[in-house]
Amino acid sequence: MENGKIKAVGPAATILLELPEGVQVASYPDSMIMPGFVDIHIHFPQITTVACYGEQLLEWLQNYILPAEAEYADKALAQERAAVFLKELLRRGTTTASVYGSIAKESAEALFEVAQRLNLRLLAGKVMMDRNGPEGMKLATPESDYQDSKELIEKWHGKGRLSYVVTPRFAPACSAADLQAASRLLKEYPGVYLQTHICENLHEIAWVRELFPERKSYLDVYDYYGLVGEKTLLGHSLHLDDEDFIRVKETGAVLCPCPPSNFFLGSGLFKFAKAKEYNVRVALGTDLGAGNTFSMVRAMEEAYKMAQLQGYSLSPFEAFYLVTLGGARALSMEDKIGNLEVGKEADFIIMDLKSTPFLEFRMQFTKTLRDKLFVQMMLSDDRAIRETYVYGALVHDREDR
């Protein structure tokens, strides 16, 4: 590595012979070096409400999540929590994520500040939401959503490794005017991303139909307002139909299933086979705090189980692809991150293949790379993430607590 980038890649024997003098060498037996993981969908302000009991999407939001998100208008609190949040991501080997803040711009501000200190390639945005909150919730207006997002874009987008994501929460929480504000931001700042939720839960879908009776589908709501394009991250996308898949393909938008969340809220199953049939981009998210984990390894495990329930075998190669190069492609960042090619940014992890007594036992019986990866994907946890490097610097060492 040099200046945060990968300088050379190859078998140790070759690389070692070519090293200039004075280069520091590290050796990791029983380990695998791999690109840092990409979490395509995660909610920062939900770190205090992970694992809230007993509800499905809409009630869960109203009863637990939206009330708890209010406190992030406190900048000092948001900064403290952002440090906890990003540390937990790094502990699990996630080096890039597309993050939802709260409605308060301070939430995104705090994330960007901490991410900048860590030199993280991070995407984040404050949530836009001007209606249908629980009683007592302070909502934004289309004007304040526009203005706050604009300020954040101008201050942070493209600064170092940071990107801004325009973040309308979802159609039920955004009036037509609010969606228009989002659209205006995308037009005025062509480099920014858009993330939102779609077709997660059947009641949510029915509600969208009531709220936008003139639109032919949930996807069409976003599409009509000009929010669906190559930089659009469509969270969940569980209940899309064939017409939706065709339109997703045409627009180049990205589908972002989050298996831990989709199971936790009982939302449904992502159609992996359909996504492959229509050849659309897919990446995985944890969707913490509906997802009960920060770990993309757990997200892969649950993606496998979700696919199995539909008779589809998600191979470990496909799964690890989805959380590395697939994630990078979903973000149109495959020229910068996603694998270990020369010239790419040095975001990577050292995965210890024998991180628990049982993994040490089980790994004896694996022969192929496929089986080694699959065993890690189904049995390992954060203890397997021995070290995490971001832009060439060590940012997490398992031995430090």
Question: Applying CB under 8 A, which residues contact a copy of itself?
Answer: 47-56, 84, 87-88, 91, 263-266, 268, 292-294, 301-302, 304-305, 307-311, 313, 315-316, 356-358, 361-362, 364-365, 370-371, 374-375, 377-379, 381-382, 401
Both structure tokens of 325: 């190069």
Question: Which three-class secondary structure state does DSSP give residue 120?
Answer: coil
Question: Which of 181/265 has CB closer to a copy of itself?
Answer: 265
Q: State the nearest-atom distance from the C-beta of 380 to a copy of itself, in Å.
A: 10
CB 222 within 8 A of CB 171: yes
Alpha-carbon distance of 394 to 401, in angstroms, equals 14
CA distances from 78 to 72, 292, 341 (A): 5, 21, 36
Residue 324, CB-side half-sphere exposure with 13 Å CA sphere:
22
Q: State the nearest-atom distance from the C-beta of 249 to a copy of itself, in Å.
A: 27
Alpha-carbon distance of 328 to 335, in angstroms, equals 8
Question: Which of 167/261 has CB closer to a copy of itself?
Answer: 261
Question: Which of 139/205 has CB closer to a copy of itself?
Answer: 205
Phi, psi of 349 (to 5 degrees): -130, 155
CB 151 within 8 A of CB 105: yes
Question: Which three-class secondary structure state does DSSP give residue 194?
Answer: strand
Question: Which three-class secondary structure state does DSSP give residue 367?
Answer: coil
Of the candidates 78, 68, 67, the one whose C-alpha atom is nearest the C-alpha of residue 106 is 78
Q: In 111-162, at which residue ranges do the beta strands (DSSP E only) sit?
A: 123-125, 127-128
CB 266 within 8 A of CB 309: no
Q: In 61-210, at which residue ranges do the beta strands (DSSP E only) sit?
A: 94-100, 123-125, 127-128, 163-168, 193-198
Question: Which three-class secondary structure state does DSSP give residue 133?
Answer: coil
Question: Which of 103/373 has CB closer to a copy of itself?
Answer: 373
Question: Which of 131/354 has CB closer to a copy of itself?
Answer: 354
Question: Which of 49/324 has CB closer to a copy of itself?
Answer: 49
Of the candidates 158, 141, 148, the one whose C-alpha atom is nearest the C-alpha of residue 126 is 148
Question: Which of 91/329 has CB closer to a copy of itself?
Answer: 91
Question: Which of 279/368 has CB closer to a copy of itself?
Answer: 368
Q: State the nearest-atom distance from the C-beta of 379 to a copy of itself, in Å.
A: 6
Question: Which of 206/246 has CB closer to a copy of itself?
Answer: 206
CB 279 within 8 A of CB 33: no
CB 95 within 8 A of CB 36: yes
Q: State the nearest-atom distance from the C-beta of 371 to a copy of itself, in Å.
A: 7
Q: State the nearest-atom distance from the C-beta of 373 to a copy of itself, in Å.
A: 9
Question: Which of 216/370 has CB closer to a copy of itself?
Answer: 370
Alpha-carbon distance of 296 to 258, in angstroms, equals 10
Q: What is the CA radius of gyration of the chain?
A: 21
Q: State the nearest-atom distance from the C-beta of 272 to a copy of itself, in Å.
A: 12
